[in-house]
């Protein structure tokens, strides 16, 4: 890491990213949007891949390549022409409901997209590090909690399977080609900028701002880990800054492949909604429980011990402050 240090909202940062050519796929999503913004603040030369022009809450300041991450020739050209050093592969179909209705497009995006990006990076002489966004859903519906990185990947339903497969593909490229590939498995992200109102946090906040009762699609008992988006971005950057010794090096010198990140504080969907109502002073708005969700994992949460010990990662905001910042963002956005 570089010697000089600056600050982004009070966070000590290095010069590691200054003028570094970085590619971000999935840049119009929640994680991608915040990550591109932070990389810009740190002085990176950012290129993003966008398949479709979609509504986004973020002002994107980056070079834009219009194309599909499943297009091998396109990805190789983007990496080569922009002299990419670090790749954050975040592009994916991220909604369980959409995956249940459209499994083939989900598999195409999440599985083929992953091997295409990794193969393009393998062929590049310049790419040094690839971060692949997996998910806690990759573990499947396990009976032993919390998940540690050594748990098997046992997705059963379309979305979960797509993340298990993408995760294993990343492992294969690391083991077979000694590429510096790392995989993130995070709790459910929340934060300003998520315009998918079917998700519990933005949907609940919007309902409260409008004076309406929030809607819970499930029966409210599903248990999840949560992670505020800025803490998640810090984790991505910290992981990407970890570099191996000078080449050649064995795969073992790269450290673990998979990394869990969460607050290690699981809550049910109903409790999550109640906490938002309390934080917004509208406990009178009782949620409408539809009990219509299907193919959902009942309970899951993560252990982040490995990240805390080896990466020295600690959340900068935590759940309560992160939620206050999230509520403030949506109040301003919806005003």
Active site residues: 159
Q: Could you give the dihedral angle defined by the CA atoms of residues 94, 95, 101 and 105, in that order, rounded to the nearest 10 degrees?
A: -10
E strand spans, the chain: 5-8, 11-14, 21-25, 45-50, 63-66, 86-89, 129-133, 181-186, 188-190, 215-216, 223-224, 226-228, 258-261, 267-268, 288-289
Is-contact 181 174, C-beta < 8 A?
A: yes
Give every CB contact of residue 164 below 8 A, 6+ residues apart in sequence.
138, 139, 140, 153, 154, 155
Q: What's the token pair of residue 256?
A: 């673990």
88 bridge partner residues: 24, 131
166 phi, psi to nearest 5 deg: -60, -40
Q: Which residues contact 335 (CB under 8 A, 6 or more apart)?
A: none
How many helices and strands, by DSSP H and E, does the chain display?
A: 11, 15
């Amino acid at each position: 890491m570089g010697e000089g240090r600056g600050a982004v909202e009070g966070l000590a940062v290095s010069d590691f990213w200054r003028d570094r050519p970085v590619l971000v796929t999935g840049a119009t999503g929640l994680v991608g949007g915040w990550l591109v913004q932070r990389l810009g603040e740190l002085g990176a030369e950012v290129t993003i891949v966008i398949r479709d022009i979609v509504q986004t809450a973020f002002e994107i300041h980056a070079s834009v390549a219009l194309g599909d991450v499943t297009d091998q020739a396109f990805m190789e050209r983007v990496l080569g022409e922009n002299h990419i050093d670090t790749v954050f592969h975040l592009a994916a179909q991220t909604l369980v409901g959409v995956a249940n209705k459209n499994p083939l497009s989900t598999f195409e995006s999440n599985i083929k997209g992953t091997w295409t990006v990794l193969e393009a990076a393998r062929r590049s002489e310049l790419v040094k590090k690839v971060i692949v966004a997996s998910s806690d859903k990759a573990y499947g519906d396990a009976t032993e909690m919390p998940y540690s990185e050594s748990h098997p990947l046992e997705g059963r339903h379309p979305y979960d399977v797509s993340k298990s497969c993408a995760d294993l593909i990343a492992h294969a490229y690391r083991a077979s080609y000694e590429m510096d590939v790392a995989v993130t498995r995070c709790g459910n992200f929340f934060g300003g900028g998520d315009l998918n109102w079917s998700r519990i946090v933005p949907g609940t906040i919007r309902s409260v701002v409008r004076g309406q009762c929030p809607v819970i699609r499930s029966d409210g008992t599903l248990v999840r880990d949560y992670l505020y988006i800025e803490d998640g971005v810090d984790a991505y950057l910290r992981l990407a800054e970890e570099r191996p010794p000078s080449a050649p090096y064995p795969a073992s010198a790269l450290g673990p492949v998979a990394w869990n990140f969460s607050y290690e504080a699981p809550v049910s969907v109903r409790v999550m909604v109640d906490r938002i109502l309390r934080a917004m002073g509208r406990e009178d708005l009782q949620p409408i429980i539809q009990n219509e969700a299907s193919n959902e994992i009942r309970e899951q949460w993560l252990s982040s011990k490995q990240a805390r010990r080896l990466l020295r990662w600690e959340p900068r905001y935590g759940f309560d402050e992160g939620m206050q910042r999230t509520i403030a963002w949506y109040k301003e956005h919806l005003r």
